[in-house]
Amino acid sequence: MKLSRILPVVLTVFFYSACHNQPDVPPSKKNYFPVRDYLRSQIADVDSVPSKMMEYDIQNGKTDSAVISLQTFNKLAAAFLLPDLDSVRFENRFEENSFLDQSNNLLTFTYSTKDSSYGLRRVDVLATPNPGGTDKVKSIYLESSSSDTDGLKLTKMYWRAGKSFSIIHIYQPAHGETGTSQTNVVWDSSD
């Protein structure tokens, strides 16, 4: 008789203890847009579809253009695969803000950091909302900076999904005039 009264109390204490002594569960991962994976898939898509690719280099107001090989395309496009876009680094260092722009019906995801050191500083992803499924990415903008004894370099990169990309370098030397160079690569000029 005593056992029948004690057993429920013991079981209750046992289950309560088991439930409340669980190790701390890490907080859930942030659900950031996988920028680096998306850019890799875009590069792979260009690799898989034969097309004429053009490179336009703009320096000091002069434009040179040339048809480029897939190897040259891959070398230039690799500039977008910044180490700071690695998901763990990205999620630890960047904050996301997002909104739907009513004027153009585009979703904007802006990732920025308060870290004042050099490297990736900002990422913007524009997408067309799709209520029934996955949003369609329109473009990605990346901004980074670096510094050495010669001065500061600001890099602005723009990836237009399935169409083209641009890389702009702005050099601010320690002594002398600011210089700018721009490379545009186009593989789908239809619009």
Which run of H or of E encompasses 122?
A: strand 119-128
What pLDDT tens digit does each residue of the chain (191 aa) get?
Answer: 443 444 343 333 333 344 444 444 344 457 888 999 999 999 999 988 878 999 999 998 899 999 999 999 999 999 999 988 887 888 888 999 999 888 888 999 999 998 777 789 999 999 998 877 777 999 999 999 998 888 999 999 999 999 999 999 999 998 888 999 999 999 988 87
Q: Are 56 and 183 in contact (CB under 8 A)?
A: yes
Q: Are 122 and 114 in contact (CB under 8 A)?
A: no
Question: Structure tokens of 3?
Answer: 């056992």
The SS3 of residue 42 is helix
Q: Are 95 and 111 in contact (CB under 8 A)?
A: yes
Q: Are 113 and 93 in contact (CB under 8 A)?
A: yes
Instruction: State the angle between helix axes of 35-48 and 70-77 in degrees (0 to 180), rounded to the nearest 10.
Output: 170
pTM for this one?
A: 0.79
CB neighbour list of residue 56: distance below 8 Å, 6 or more residues apart: 63, 64, 65, 182, 183, 184, 185, 186
Tens-place pLDDT, residues 47-86: 888 789 999 999 988 999 999 999 999 999 999 999 888 8
Note the pLDDT of residue 29. Answer: 58
Note the pLDDT of residue 17. Answer: 40
Backbone torsions φ then ψ of 92, nearest 5 degrees: -80, -30
CA dist 7 and 14 (Å) reads: 10
Note the pLDDT of residue 50. Answer: 74
